[in-house]
Structure 1
C-alpha cells in the first residue's frame, strides 16, 4: 500500500479507562508535535526535541497547569501508524486524563475513531490486515492460547503462510496459463493429473488455515453457548456450576428465570460465553412469554446449544419437541444424576440420530467438566487450538472461497475452466491478504477496535 498523508491530527487515550499509575494519550498525523506544543511547556518545545526522546514538562490550559507530563514524538515512517506521531504521558486518574485529552483536542486535534490508528498503519503500509488482526487478538485475548494465536499473526507468521500459498498457486498454474495464452509456443507438456493434485493440495492448505483462523476467532471472541430446556430442569443451577459462582437465581418455582442471564468461564484456553434462558413452555403470562421468545432467539444466535433435561423424570412432550427441533451443533445435559437417571432417557438418547448426551448433576458437579470438554471439542471438531491464528471474519471467508474455487478447478473438465477458477482463487487469497481493500471493508474491520488503537 502507498503511504497516505493525513492532514488531520487524531488523538485518543490509549490506556484502559479507569484509575492507574499512568495515562497515555496518542496523537497521529502531520503536525502532531506542533499540536502538543500549543499546550506543552518544557525546557524546549517538543518539535525541537529529537524524535523517540522523552521530554519532561507540563500540560497547560487557560486555567493553569493541568498535569506534569512526559512527551515524545515519532517521525514517519518509524512510528506505529507510519506517519508523524506523538504521545503525552500523564498521571492515570480518570479526570486528569480526560482534561489533558480535551486540551489537545482544543489545540487542534480531533478525537480518533475506533481503530483509526491501526487503520492508518495499514493504509500507510506499516502493517497488513493479518498483522492488524493480531493486534486485535492481543487486545481481546483472555488466555495463553489466544495470545499465541494473535502473536502468530502479529509477527508475520500467518502472512508468510499466505504468501507461500500464493506463490505455490502461481507456480502450479503458470504452465497451463501459458499454454492457453500462447498456443503457438513450444512449451512442456502439461501433466493434468499432477495439476489436479496440486490444486487439491492448495485447497486443503487453504481450508486448514481458514479453520485455524476460526479457532483464533473463537479464542478471541469466545463460544456462545445457550442453556435451553423446559422450566425447572436445572438450567440456572447448571450455569452456576459451570462458572462456579451464583450468577442465576435458583428456586423450585417453575419460570423463575424470565430474562437471559449471561456469564463466562475460560476452559482449556477457550472463553465459553454461557447464556441461561427462560424455560420453554406454553404460557399466557406476557412477561414469561417475552422471556421464552428471547430464549428461542438465543437458541438461534448461539454457536452451541445445551439442552438441559431432567433425567430423574420421564420425558415430557416439551422435552421431545425441543429434542427434535434443536439446531446443531448441540449437546444434551441429562441433569439430576444424583437422583438417578431413568432408563427411558438412556434408551431415547442412545439412538444414532440423537445428539450426544452427558449424565450430569448440577447439584454436586458430576459430569460437568466432561460437558465443558465436549463443548470445546464440538466447536473445534474441524479445527485445532494448536496452530490457531488471529484473522478477521472476511479473511476466513475469503480463504474458504479460494479453497472452493480450487476444488472446482480440480474437478473441471476443460483446461480454460481450470485456469479461470484458479485465477479467481488467487483473487480471493489476495483479498484475505488485504490487497485491493475498499473503504467499506476497512470501515467494517476497524469499527471493532477500541478508540486509541
Structure 2
C-alpha cells in the first residue's frame, strides 16, 4: 500500500528536477499550497516572487540559514491551476554544481517542504485533473524514448490522442447501454427501439475500432520497449556471425567448433525507430555436455518467448532430422528463415525450404553481405509492423494494452450473446463491464496500489 503522504495534496513537495551531476543549471521545484511562502524564505530578489507576475523570471540570490547569499539564481512561479501539477509551483534555477542544488533543496525542506516521492509531481497533475492516467504514463514514455519515432508516439499519447479515441469508444458504449437499459426498464414508454441488427452492427464497429487502437498501442509499446528476436538453429550454422553482422560489431565469439555459444548473448540496435534486441542462442541439439545442455534449454525458452524467431540454416549442408522437426515447430510462431553461407556452394535452395514452410518468409544471405543484412533488418520490422504503423503508434504500457483487451473481450462477449439469442440484459451487463475497464484505463476509477505501481517507476523530481 502507499504511504499516506504519497496521496496527501496538502503537503508542499520539493525535489531536484534535473539530472544529478555537474551542469550549467540545476532546477529545484516546489509544488503545493505553501510553495511561494517557502520559496520566499530562501530566495531574495529586487522584489519578492509573490510580487512578480507568474511565469516571469526573477533574478536573485539563494540564501543560507543565516541569510547569507550562496548562489546567484533565477526564480519563477506558476499560479494554480495553470502549472504542471495544477497547484502553485515554484522553480529555483541555480548553478548546476553537486553541492548547490542539494543545498537549495535542503533549505527548502528546512522551511517546511517535504521531499517528493518518485513521480509525485506527475501524480499530482493526474489527481488534480490536469491529465488523465494514459497521459501521465506517456510522460515516462517521453523520458525513456530511444528514437524519434518513440518520442513522437509518446507525444501523441501525451497530447491526448489515445484518450480521445478511448473516450469516443466509451461514449458509443454508453449510448448503446442507455438505450438498452431504457428498453429493458421501460418497455411501454415511447423510447427509440434498438433492433438486434442495429445493435450487432454498432458493436462490431466498436470491436473493430478497439482492435485498431490495441494494434497501435502494441506498436507504441514496441517503439518504447523494443522487440526481441531470438536467433536459433543447430550448432555451427553461423548464428553468431549473423548476430555480429546485425549489430555491426563483434559481440559473440565465432569459431568452427560446434557448441561455442553456450549462453544467451544479447545486443540491440535501433532500426526505423524500433529498438531490436537480438539474442544469440546456443545451437539446438542433443548433447551430453552439462553446460551446453543448460544453454540449449535457455535457447528453447528464448525461442518460445521471443517476439520473432530468426531461424538460421547452413545452406552448404543438408538439413538434419532435428532441423526438419524445428521447421514443424516454427509453424506455430512468428519467424523468418535465413539460409546462410550464400558465399560458398549451396546444397539447399529456397525452394527446398519453401516445401517445408510454404507460408514462411525465407531469404538467402551471407553474414559478409552488408546489403543482405540490411534487407534482413527491414524484413524483421515489416514482419511485425505494417508500413504506416510506425508513424501511428500510441505510447502504451502492458497494463494499458491488457486493459484494452479486457474491453474488447467484453464487447466480443456481447456480440456472441446477441448471435446466440441470449437476453439483452446480458449484453447490457457486458457493456457495463467494458465501461468499467475504460474508466480504470483513464484513471477515472483507480486504487492506491495502481497509482503506486505506475508512479513508482518515475524518477524523483518528475
Class of the TM-score when normalised by the shorter of the 2 chains: 0.7 to 0.9
1:268 aligns with 2:277: no
Secondary structure class of the residue paired with 1:168: helix
- Checking the alignment, whether the CA contact within 8 Å between 2:65 and 2:107 is kept in structure 1 is no
Alpha-carbon distance in structure 2 between the residues aligned to 1:40 and 1:258: 61
- Checking the alignment, whether the CA contact within 8 Å between 1:262 and 1:275 is kept in structure 2 is yes
Secondary structure class of the residue paired with 1:264: strand
Structure 1 residues 60 and 171, CA, compared in 2 at 3 Å: closer, same or farther? same
Structure 2 residue corresponding to 1:362, chosen from 358, 363, 367: 367
Structure 1 residues 334 and 450, CA, compared in 2 at 3 Å: closer, same or farther? farther
Query: 1:80 Cα shift?
Result: 0.7
Matches within 5 A, 1:331-410: 331-343=336-348, 346-352=351-357, 355-380=360-385, 384-410=389-415
Alpha-carbon distance in structure 2 between the residues aligned to 1:65 and 1:322: 72
1:139 aligns with 2:143: yes
Secondary structure class of the residue paired with 2:81: coil
- Checking the alignment, whether the CA contact within 8 Å between 1:228 and 1:295 is kept in structure 2 is yes
Give the equivalent residue in structure 2 for 1:242: 246
Alpha-carbon distance in structure 2 between the residues aligned to 1:101 and 1:290: 51
Give the equivalent residue in structure 2 for 1:27: 30
1:9 aligns with 2:9: no
Matches within 5 A, 1:58-97: 58-61=61-64, 67-94=71-98, 96-97=100-101
- Checking the alignment, whether the CA contact within 8 Å between 1:395 and 1:431 is kept in structure 2 is no
Under a length normalisation based on structure 1, what TM-score does the superposition of the two structures give?
0.87
- Checking the alignment, whether the CA contact within 8 Å between 1:208 and 1:383 is kept in structure 2 is no
Matches within 5 A, 1:43-192: 43-46=46-49, 49-61=52-64, 67-94=71-98, 96-105=100-109, 108-192=112-196
- Checking the alignment, whether the CA contact within 8 Å between 1:240 and 1:248 is kept in structure 2 is yes
- Checking the alignment, whether the CA contact within 8 Å between 1:402 and 1:429 is kept in structure 2 is yes
1:225-251 Cα shifts (integer Å, max 9, x gaps): 222333332222222221223333333
Under a length normalisation based on structure 2, what TM-score does the superposition of the two structures give?
0.86
Give the equivalent residue in structure 1 for 2:456: 447
- Checking the alignment, whether the CA contact within 8 Å between 2:350 and 2:363 is kept in structure 1 is no
- Checking the alignment, whether the CA contact within 8 Å between 2:267 and 2:278 is kept in structure 1 is yes
- Checking the alignment, whether the CA contact within 8 Å between 2:327 and 2:356 is kept in structure 1 is no
- Checking the alignment, whether the CA contact within 8 Å between 1:333 and 1:360 is kept in structure 2 is yes
Structure 1 residue corresponding to 2:424, chosen from 415, 418, 422: 415
Query: 1:199 Cα shift?
Result: 0.9
1:31-65 Cα shifts (integer Å, max 9, x gaps): 23444445444445545544323233344556976
Q: Aligned pairs, how many?
A: 450
Secondary structure class of the residue paired with 2:230: strand
Structure 2 residue corresponding to 1:299, chosen from 287, 299, 303: 303
Secondary structure class of the residue paired with 1:319: helix
Alpha-carbon distance in structure 1 between the residues aligned to 2:22 and 2:294: 39
Alpha-carbon distance in structure 2 between the residues aligned to 1:366 and 1:75: 57
- Checking the alignment, whether the CA contact within 8 Å between 1:211 and 1:382 is kept in structure 2 is no
Alpha-carbon distance in structure 1 between the residues aligned to 2:229 and 2:19: 28
Alpha-carbon distance in structure 1 between the residues aligned to 2:179 and 2:84: 42
Structure 1 residues 262 and 75, CA, compared in 2 at 3 Å: closer, same or farther? same
Structure 1 residues 188 and 57, CA, compared in 2 at 3 Å: closer, same or farther? closer
Secondary structure class of the residue paired with 1:127: coil
- Checking the alignment, whether the CA contact within 8 Å between 2:327 and 2:357 is kept in structure 1 is no
Give the equivalent residue in structure 1 for 2:3: none
Alpha-carbon distance in structure 1 between the residues aligned to 2:203 and 2:215: 18
- Checking the alignment, whether the CA contact within 8 Å between 1:263 and 1:275 is kept in structure 2 is yes
Q: Which runs of 5+ in 2 are unaligned?
A: 1-6
Secondary structure class of the residue paired with 2:356: coil
Alpha-carbon distance in structure 1 between the residues aligned to 2:36 and 2:116: 16
Structure 1 residues 416 and 81, CA, compared in 2 at 3 Å: closer, same or farther? same
- Checking the alignment, whether the CA contact within 8 Å between 1:314 and 1:345 is kept in structure 2 is no
Query: 1:16 Cα shift?
Result: 3.5
Give the equivalent residue in structure 2 for 1:213: 217
Query: 1:383 Cα shift?
Result: 9.0
RMSD of Structure 2 on Structure 1 (CA): 3.0
Query: 1:338 Cα shift?
Result: 1.4
Query: 1:205 Cα shift?
Result: 0.6
